[in-house]
Structure 1
Amino acid sequence: NRRQCTKFNGASYIIQRGAAAIYTEEGERQIEETLAYYRNNARVIKDGLEAAGFTVYGAVNSPYIWCKTPEGVGSWEFFDKLLTEANIITTPGAGFGPSGEGYVRLTAFGDADATVEAMERIQKLMAK
């Protein structure tokens, strides 16, 4: 126990080395590249939802996008519609408390091609 506690006093060595790597020029470049990827996804989602006629919040310096559900449609009902009719998973706003009701939350933490496809599906669904 003494040996283990001495050698492992928090995060393991490999995790510490990985964390330290972000402070290198290469690490900084890789992080910025990853952030740009998700920022682009957020922009695609925001633009796609707005093109479909939705009121949207977030997506600016945030990987989360809040979409106002259609008038009179609850967050769970809209979640179900997107899931069953467009095969898109969102998060019902009601799960975040009473203030989240009437919204669904989408995330930019996905594949870029799948994000574009999801927005195309939503636009097609809403055009019906």
Structure 2
Amino acid sequence: GAKLNTMWNRRQTTKFNGASYVIQRGAAAIYTPEGAAQVDETIDFYRANARTIKEGLAAAGLEVYGADNSPYVWCRTPNGTGSWDFFNRLLEEANVITTPGAGFGPAGEGYIRLTAFGDAGDTQEAVERIKRMLDAESRD
């Protein structure tokens, strides 16, 4: 009995301890010219979204950081607004979800983080909504 258990355990751990063969082959495919082109295309897509966010919010007068070599854009909250307060305003008034900087620790307070991991049209729409919200606020 113990010998069969030992052999069965060896078989199971050999077959299932780690990435499956299909997954390994998929991962290796990125090293082909076609795989490299697809990876570059995907990265370019997210870089374009990051640029849309960064340039749009900067044009709206916000102080923005990141987005150059990262899919994340950090934005200083206007007029010293708390990160959770600005998060809530963006959610309620612009219907845009961001991440409050306070969630990243004390140094994140006073910032929100936006992500480029989204649809290009949705990203553009979110930036336009934020700009409209800030524009309406500046007219009040």
Query: Given the two structures, how large is their TM-score scaled by the length of structure 1?
Result: 0.97
Q: Percent identity?
A: 70
Is the partner of 1:65 in helix, strand or coil? Answer: strand
- How far residue 99 of structure 1 moved from its aligned partner, in angstroms, is 0.3
Gapped runs of 5+ residues in structure 2? 1-8
Larger Rg: 2
| Letter matched to residue 54 of structure 1 | L
| Letter matched to residue 48 of structure 2 | N
Residue 11 (structure 1) aligns with: 19
Is the partner of 1:22 in helix, strand or coil? Answer: helix
* CA RMSD after TM alignment: 0.8
Offset from partner CA, 1:46-73 (integer Å, 9 cap, x none): 0010011000000001100000001131
The structure with the greater share of residues assigned to helix is 2
Q: Within 2, Cα distance between the matches of 1:6 and 1:121? A: 53
| Residues 1:110 and 2:112 are matched in the alignment | no
Residue 75 (structure 1) aligns with: 83
User: Structure 1 residues 37-46 or 7-16, which shifts more?
Assistant: 7-16
Is the partner of 1:71 in helix, strand or coil? Answer: helix
Q: Within 2, Cα distance between the matches of 1:122 and 1:68? A: 14
Q: Within 2, Cα distance between the matches of 1:32 and 1:40? A: 12
The count of residues paired between Structure 1 and Structure 2 equals 128
